Each structure stands twice: as structure tokens, then as C-alpha cells.
Amino acid sequence: MLSGVKTVAWSVVFGLMLVCAGCQRAALTVSPPVSGGDYAARTADCVACHSIPGGEAFAGGLKMGTPIGAIYSTNITPDPETGIGKYSLADFDRALRQGIAKDGHRLYPAMPYPSYAKLSDADVAALYGFFMKEAPPVHQANRKTEIPPVLRTRWPLAIWDVVFAPRSSYAAKPGHDTAWNRGAYLVQGPGHCGACHTPRGLGQQEKALDESSPKYLAGAELDGWYAPSLRGEVRTGLGAWSQTDIVDFLKHGHNRIGAPFGSMIDVVNNSTSYFSDSDIQAVATYLKSLPATTDQPSLAKDTTTTAAMMNRPSAQPGGAVYAGYCASCHGFDGKGFAPYMPGLAGNPVVLHDNPSSLINLTLNASIPLVVAGAPDAYRMPQFRQQLSDQDIADVLTFIRKGWGDQAPSVTTAQVAKLRKRTDPASDQVIVLKMR
């Protein structure tokens, strides 16, 4: 929490006058179900950034890239010397919702305090109680930033905060029921979904923080992945997903359409799979209410690709690669074997103009899905050793133009660029414990 969502960049913005940071907060009127501080920590997914595989819970040390150098998540255990053991509730609140540490230094907005600003007083108090009384203290010094000394000054972050960071907790929106408001609170606040799924501006700020803007959750590229739109686009968003599809995806890590990859694996492994049924339903209710930002035609499926592969799989560039490496899991008809091996025909990730996630998955695979302590039996393998840039460009173009998908071609330059700047995902089963 106090330092990071993975690889979210920050930038300095100059101008405007500094105003009071201690603005009064509106009380949350949603009456969320209270299940203790550990549940609040799950909804905020604190463990994903403040723990590392094989390390102690919440002791920090996760490396996060920024445009000017790497930073590391901090120790948020109750250790009084290297953690937050000397923080009062007010200190904790200020760090969590305003991005200001106990000693007064500004936190980098890799820590999603623009989202956590919407947390209720009750959830802040619950989190404080969890970290002070339930999380074990770990004496581990924080790692120093790799940002060059000349760029380490943090006073410009005060200006960034004034311009871009909200100052009030979530307040229930009139005209919507309790479930919708609870879902909005979870998505906008503790879930900080916008940190990955909302496009960013010149100052690396999220362009929108709630549903009042069509840019909110409209999709964004982040560290070699494309976090897709969570709005109602028929082809590239959640327009073709039912509320049950969303629930299944967040609770179990797969549904009839797709499965998580990249950082979303961490979210399911460590956070949403622990949500209560009512909270998962509330999130789905809210997401299904977000309208599409573009008018997209429905997918016109055809069987030409399937017939061509069954007869002469090498006739089209990429066809032979698909038949040899992909069809056994995703099917000659591109329909996959739901819910564990997703289809590619009509898949929103396949249809989007930005192919980053497809390239990254093909090159590097993704870490194993672990739900309720049980690793998933199926996992996308990596092909960076077996397939050349041309092979990957050809097979992904074949997929993106087959079965009626009709998405743009993938180039060898796009593959080469991501091959150079990404690494293979670990096949180790990773379970980050909170105690």
C-alpha cells in the first residue's frame, strides 16, 4: 500500500498554487460489510506489492519500474524501526489517503493513494488495526531507490497531488442502489482498478477517477501489457460478458470467455478470489453499468479459417504454427475449451488494436493462477525460445484475422521490441501469505 502498484509511472507537473491537504472527508454512506482488517487488506491487495516471493509478509522489496529509475515497495509491518510501527492512526491515514509519510516526505504515486483517498474512515481504521496488531513485525530496511540523485527531489509531488489527487472519500451516488454503490466504492477505492485500466495523461495521472468520464477504465498499456477496457464495448470490452462472467472471472480466475494474465493474475490470486459473494456481485453490477465509449460492430464469425486449417494448415502464414503449437489448447475452431483454456475467436484481448498482451503472453507466458490455495491445472507456456519474431508475428496475425476477428496485423518490429524489454514469467507457484 504505502508504495506501490507495479510499474505505474509518475511524472512531475509544475504550476498552480499549493492548497491545504487536510480537507474534510465526506462520510461513506454505503454501509459496507465489515469482515475485519484482513478483509480490508485483501480488497486493497496490499500484499501483492508489499511482499515478494519467498520474503516475509508486507516487508516490502518489490521492484517497480518508472521512466526515471526503479523504486522498491516499502516495509509496512509494525516493526518500529524499519516499518510503520511508530505510525499513529492519523499518520497511517495521511500516508494511505494523501500520500504523505510520517516524516513528511511525499510518496511516489506508484502507491495508489489517488484511489485510496476514497477509502472510508472505517476501512482505514480496520487496515490500521490489521497492520499494527495482526501483521507480524519484520525488521528489514527499505531498499534505496535507483532514481538518479538529481531527480530524487520530491517537492514537485506536492504540486502533482494538488492537480491530480482527490481529497474526499467515496460518497454514495443518488439514483443507484446499495449494490451499485458498494461496487463503485470497491472498484474506485480499495480495488484501485483505474491504476491499470484507465489511460494516463502527460503527467502520468489517471485521466479519470470515476464513471463521470468515458475515459474511466477505458483500457491502457502498462509495462508491456494492455489492460483492456472494463466498459461496455462489444468487441474489446465487457459488452459480451454477462454479470455472471465477471463474477466467475474475479472469483475463480476463468470464465467462458477468458482468463487473467500479467498483473491481473496477482489481483485474482491475492485479492478478488477472497471477496465475499456480495462484494463480487456488487463489482460486477457496477462494471456492467459502464457504457461503451465507442460504437463497435458485433463479431461476424465464420468457419473459413477452421476449414482452411483442417485441409491445408500451411497455406496461410502462421497457420502451420497455430496448428502445431496452439490448436491443441485453443482448438482448430478457435473456440478453446472453456472455462480453463480460453477461446481466441471473438476474444476481446485478440480483437483490440493494441497487441501487446498477446505478444507478451506468447513470448513469456504468465505466472500460475492460484485460487483458494490451489494452483490451476492449465497454464499458457512460453514460446520465446521455440518461435522467431517472424513466427510470432505470423501466428498472431493469423489469429487476429481468423474466424471473423479482423483485427490489425502484428509486425516483427512489435514482437522484437517486447522480446527485448520483457522476461519470461516464472512457472513457480507463488502464494503470498498475509501472516
Q: Cell for 131?
A: 497492520
> Does residue 226 belong to any structural domain of this protein?
no
CA–CA gap between residue 321 and residue 56 (Å, rounded): 43
81 CB contacts (<8 Å, ≥6 apart)? 139
Cell of 400: 487476429
Residue 189 forms part of a structural domain = no
- Separation of alpha carbons 295 and 61, rounded Å: 43
Q: Taking a C-beta distance cutoff of 8 angstroms, is the pair 6, 49 a contact? A: yes
Q: What percent of the chain has pLDDT over 70?
A: 89
Q: Is residue 136 part of a domain?
A: yes
Q: What rounded mean pLDDT belongs to the chain?
A: 88
Residues 168, 309 within the same domain: no
- 190 burial via Cβ count (<10 Å: 0-12, 13-18, 19+): buried
Write the DSSP assignment of 56-84 as a string of letters. -TT----EE--TT--EEPPP-SS-TTTSS
Helix axes 121-133, 89-98, angle to 10 degrees: 120
Beta bridge partners of 100: 106
At 329-364, the pLDDT tens digits run 999 999 999 888 999 999 999 999 999 999 999 999
The residues, any chain, with a CB within 8 Å of residue 99's CB and separated by 6 or more, are 106, 107, 109, 111, 113, 114, 157, 161, 165
* Residue 109, domain member (yes or no): yes
What are the tens digits of pLDDT across the range 243-291?
999 999 999 999 999 999 988 999 999 999 999 999 999 999 999 999 9
Q: What's the pTM value of the predicted model, to 2 decimals?
A: 0.88
Would residue 224 count as lying in a domain?
Answer: no
Q: Write out pLDDT tens, residues 270-282.
A: 999 999 999 999 9
Kindly state whether residue 314 falls inside one of the protein's structural domains.
Answer: yes
Number of structural domains the chain divides into: 2
Residue 214 falls within a domain, yes or no?
no
Residue 9 lies in a domain: yes
Residue 366 pLDDT grade (very low, low, confident, very high; cuts 50, 70, 90): confident
pLDDT band at 304 (very low <50, low <70, confident <90, very high): confident
Question: Distance between CA 57 and CA 41 in Å, rounded?
Answer: 12
For residue 100, the 8-state DSSP code is B
Distance (Å, rounded) from C-alpha 110 to C-alpha 107? 8
Task: Please state, in angstroms and rounded to a whole number, the distance separating the CA atoms of residues 291 and 284.
Answer: 13
Q: Which of 138, 156, 173 is the last residue of a domain?
A: 173
What's the CA gap between 354 and 220, in Å, rounded? 9
> Domain span at residue 321?
304-421
Confidence (pLDDT) at 246: 98
Q: How far apart are CA 107 and CA 123, in angstroms?
A: 20
Pairing status of strand 71-72 against strand 370-371: unpaired
Confidence at residue 428, expressed as pLDDT on a 0 to 100 scale: 73
Q: Last residue of a domain, which of 149, 173, 197?
A: 173
